[in-house]
Homo-oligomer: A and B are copies of this chain.
Amino acid sequence: MSSISKQQKQQDITPEARDHFYEILYGRRDVRGQFLPDDVPDDVLTNILHAAHHAPSVGLSQPWNFILIRDAERRRKIYDAFVKANDEAAEMFDEGRRSHYQSLKLQGILDTPLNVCITCDRKRGGPVVLGKTHQAEMDLYSTVCAVQNFWLAARAENVGVGWVSIIQKEKLIELLDLPDGVVPVAYLCVGYVSEFLKKPELELAQWEKRTQLEDMIYTDTWGQK
């Protein structure tokens, strides 16, 4: 690596910083059952939102918004929409898995005082956005990058996050008054937790297994090892 420049060397992340980063990345969890009622202080929440806002975005279009939902009545309506969807979901599993599915806790909407909806404005940046000309979904993908930044930054701040996807998007659009062209990408429960589980909850509950990394890697084309 002789050509690595002096300029990069000055910007190098140290092995210690890298290891701290991995501690956070591997300690992140999709939290459902461990939320506490404590408020997240404004300065901590601002740190997390600032990190989300510095995600990569196609053409620097920054298509996201952050709706902070604290109102108990609105969260109750969103919880009701989850319950309806979750009942529908249970029916989709065959009998063998249904009772296992029904035994899982899959959200913490009312358990924590803060929910955050991260939205994508499909019109942001106008009709022609650099990098979106041939892949129209890039604005949605940019918004997901902001979600993942939010999730990791929350873990760095010792705050838990759970992504609730078992809900009709149309219901979220209605309950959050989203205008035409704005879609909900992630509905997040956010708060302090009693603990971060050592492994994903679905792995501990033996719902699914972690696959081996080497099975996911191909060389040059699909299927080639």
B-binding residues in A (CB < 8 A): 1-5, 7-8, 11-13, 16-18, 20-28, 30, 36-39, 46-47, 49-51, 53-56, 58-62, 64-71, 74, 85, 88-89, 92-93, 101, 104, 106, 119, 125, 128, 130-135, 137-138, 140-141, 144-145, 147-149, 151-153, 155-158, 163, 165-169, 176-179, 182, 185-186, 192-196, 200, 202-203, 207-211, 213, 216-223
In the complex, are the beta carbons of A21 and B156 less than 8 A apart? Answer: yes
In the complex, are the beta carbons of A68 and B217 less than 8 A apart? Answer: yes
Looking across the interface, which residue of chain B has its beta carbon closest to that of A168? B134
In the complex, are the beta carbons of B17 and A24 less than 8 A apart? Answer: yes
CA distance A119 to B222 in the complex (A): 10
In the complex, 23 of the A-B residue pairs with CB atoms within 8 angstroms, ordered by the A residue number, are: A1-B39, A1-B192, A5-B36, A8-B194, A11-B195, A18-B24, A20-B21, A21-B156, A22-B51, A26-B51, A28-B56, A60-B202, A60-B209, A67-B217, A69-B219, A106-B130, A135-B167, A140-B141, A141-B186, A144-B145, A177-B221, A179-B222, A182-B222
CA distance A61 to B203 in the complex (A): 11
In the complex, are the beta carbons of A167 and B134 less than 8 A apart? Answer: yes
Top 7 nearest A-B pairs (CB, nearest first) are: A17-B20, A60-B208, A144-B144, A148-B148, A20-B20, A89-B133, A7-B195
Give which listed residue, B21, B68, B192, contacts A220 with CB less than 8 A.
B68
In the complex, are the beta carbons of A36 and B179 less than 8 A apart? Answer: no
Give which listed residue, B21, B157, B223, contacts A153 with CB less than 8 A.
B21
CA distance A219 to B47 in the complex (A): 17
Give which listed residue, B3, B22, B85, contacts A36 with CB less than 8 A.
B3
Give the shortest distance, in Å, between A106 (CB) and chain B (any CB). Answer: 7
Known: A58-B165, A89-B133. A25 touches B220 (CB 8 A): no
Indicate the member of A125, A128, A130 with the most B CB atoms within 10 Å.
A130
Report chain B residues within 8 Å CB of A92: 128, 133
